[in-house]
């Protein structure tokens, strides 16, 4: 395998990466090409103060390499904040694979090549599922590395847990903004009904919410219409519809000044990572008097579930309890933001930074997680 380490202090590539708006002092960035398997992938480790970078692997068709680079920089930084705000013993990392033409390459071989890339990072990055990857892919990756979570025989697919966290987060938002403990009749625009969006729709429907769904996959839309009586909207028209909640559950950067002008909701609460195109959109959301559940706080259910593989092995009941903490965590952020007249994102960022910087300043720095073979060893959470 050709391993091209884009080690940041050196060379032109380093200068390019450093000049990118989404570069935020990332600790490590690695690019690998393996022509035999068709693998082209980037792994970014943003910050390891609380522990090794942990975050999923996205497989996506990017417009170009720069778009993939931007994505991995943003996603890995988001993981640092998500893991810190959720008080997990992890730093922030993420991987993206530039989707090849799978009619020419074997997917299992590509995943194994990616697993070899992960293993070369020697425990500084641990992977799991994300958009475009599945438990089956994780099984292939696992054949080459032990730095992996979310396997079928451990915590499994994180998506239902992410969806549950988002559902509880929507309940918190409805209680805060609509002063109601019930979701009966609450109208929710769910953008993207893939793994997380579908499970979210299921829970919302069971509690009497009215759903409007959009997706680019007709089969995913048809399933929600049939199972939950969801109204279907085109992706472009969704932003113009009257509703209580906008739940972005597709890709990131859907919240721009332009989409915000069109939205007629009082709550934004969804699963997508990096929902804001730029951070200043958080201020605009506040000016519009919309309650925003910061993405990396509300969508942490999957990684919280994964973290339950540590400290004595995975226990589903404990995972449920840990994911449930997302609701009081959000309520706390809403209360602090209101008291200090700040955006909810500003407050969440402060909390997250306090937590990972405190870990960086202290001597309690977790250097590496146990490997799969000794995953049952206790691991002391940092600063938790």
Exactly one of 93, 156, 192, 383 binds ligand NAD (CB under 6 A); that residue is 192
H-assigned helices in the chain: 11-19, 65-85, 107-120, 135-142, 159-177, 195-206, 218-228, 257-262, 281-287, 295-298, 301-307, 316-324, 326-340, 344-361
Work out whether 93 is an interface residue with ligand NAD (CB under 6 A): no
End-to-end CA distance of the chain: 39
Return the C-alpha torsion angle 108, 109, 113, 115, nearest 10.
30
Strand, coil or helix: 171? helix
Residue nearest to ligand NAD (CB): 194
Q: Which is nearer to ligand NAD, 249 or 282 (CB)?
A: 249
Size of the site for ligand NAD (CB under 6 A): 28
| Strand order across the beta sheet in which 291-292 lies | 231-232, 210-214, 187-191, 245-248, 267-268, 291-292
Work out whether 57 is an interface residue with ligand NAD (CB under 6 A): no
Work out whether 222 is an interface residue with ligand NAD (CB under 6 A): no
Exactly one of 195, 233, 343, 349 binds ligand NAD (CB under 6 A); that residue is 195
Exactly one of 217, 262, 264, 340 binds ligand NAD (CB under 6 A); that residue is 217
Work out whether 197 is an interface residue with ligand NAD (CB under 6 A): yes
CB 123, min distance to ligand NAD, A: 22
Q: Does 94 participate in catalysis according to the annotation?
A: yes
Q: Does an H or E element contain 92, and which? A: strand 91-98
CB 271, min distance to ligand NAD, A: 4
Beta bridge partners of 40: 33
Strand, coil or helix: 303? helix
Catalytic position from the list 82, 94, 210, 327 = 94
How is residue 28 written in tokens?
A: 């490590």
Contacts to ligand NAD from residues 258-297, by CB under 6 A: 271-273
Q: Which is nearer to ligand NAD, 1 or 277 (CB)?
A: 277
Work out whether 130 is an interface residue with ligand NAD (CB under 6 A): yes
Query: Which residue, 219, 234, 278, is CA-closest to 252?
Result: 278
- CA 270 to chain centroid, in Å, comes to 11
Work out whether 309 is an interface residue with ligand NAD (CB under 6 A): no
Work out whether 243 is an interface residue with ligand NAD (CB under 6 A): no
| Positions in the binding site for ligand NAD (CB under 6 A) | 130-132, 158-159, 162, 191-197, 214-217, 220, 235, 249-252, 271-273, 299, 302
For the annotated catalytic residues, the residue numbers are 94
């Amino acid at each position: 395998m050709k391993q091209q380490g884009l080690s940041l202090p050196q060379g032109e590539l380093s200068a390019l990466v450093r000049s990118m708006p989404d570069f935020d002092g990332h600790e490590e960035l690695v690019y690998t090409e393996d022509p035999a398997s068709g693998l082209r992938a980037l792994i970014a480790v943003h910050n390891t103060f609380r522990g090794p970078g942990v975050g999923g692997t996205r497989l996506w068709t990017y417009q170009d390499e720069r778009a993939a680079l931007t994505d991995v920089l943003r996603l890995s930084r988001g993981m640092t904040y998500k893991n810190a705000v959720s008080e997990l013993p992890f730093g922030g990392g993420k991987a993206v694979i530039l989707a090849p033409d799978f009619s020419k390459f074997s997917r299992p071989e590509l995943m194994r090549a990616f697993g070899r890339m992960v293993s070369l990072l020697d425990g500084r990055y641990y992977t799991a599922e994300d958009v475009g990857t599945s438990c089956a892919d994780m099984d292939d990756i696992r054949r080459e590395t032990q730095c992996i979570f979310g396997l079928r025989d451990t915590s499994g697919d994180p998506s239902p847990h992410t969806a549950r966290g988002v559902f509880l987060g929507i309940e918190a938002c409805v209680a805060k903004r609509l002063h109601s403990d019930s979701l009966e009749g609450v109208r929710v625009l769910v953008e993207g009904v893939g793994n997380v969006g579908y499970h979210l729709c299921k829970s919302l429907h069971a509690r009497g919410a009215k759903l409007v769904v959009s997706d680019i996959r007709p089969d995913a839309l048809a399933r929600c219409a049939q199972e939950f009586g969801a109204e279907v909207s085109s992706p472009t028209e969704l932003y113009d519809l009257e509703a209580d909640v906008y739940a972005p559950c597709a890709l990131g950067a859907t919240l721009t000044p332009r989409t915000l002008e069109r939205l007629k909701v009082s709550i934004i609460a969804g699963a997508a990572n990096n929902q804001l195109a730029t951070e200043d959109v958080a201020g605009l959301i506040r000016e519009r008097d919309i309650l925003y559940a910061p993405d990396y706080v509300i969508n942490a259910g999957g990684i919280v579930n994964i973290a339950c593989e540590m400290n004595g092995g995975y226990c589903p009941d404990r995972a449920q309890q840990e994911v449930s903490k997302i609701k009081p965590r959000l309520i706390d952020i809403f209360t602090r933001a209101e008291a200090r007249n700040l955006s909810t994102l500003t407050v969440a960022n402060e909390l997250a930074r306090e937590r990972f910087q405190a870990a960086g300043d202290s001597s309690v720095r977790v250097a590496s997680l146990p490997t799969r073979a000794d995953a049952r060893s206790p691991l002391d959470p940092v600063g938790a």
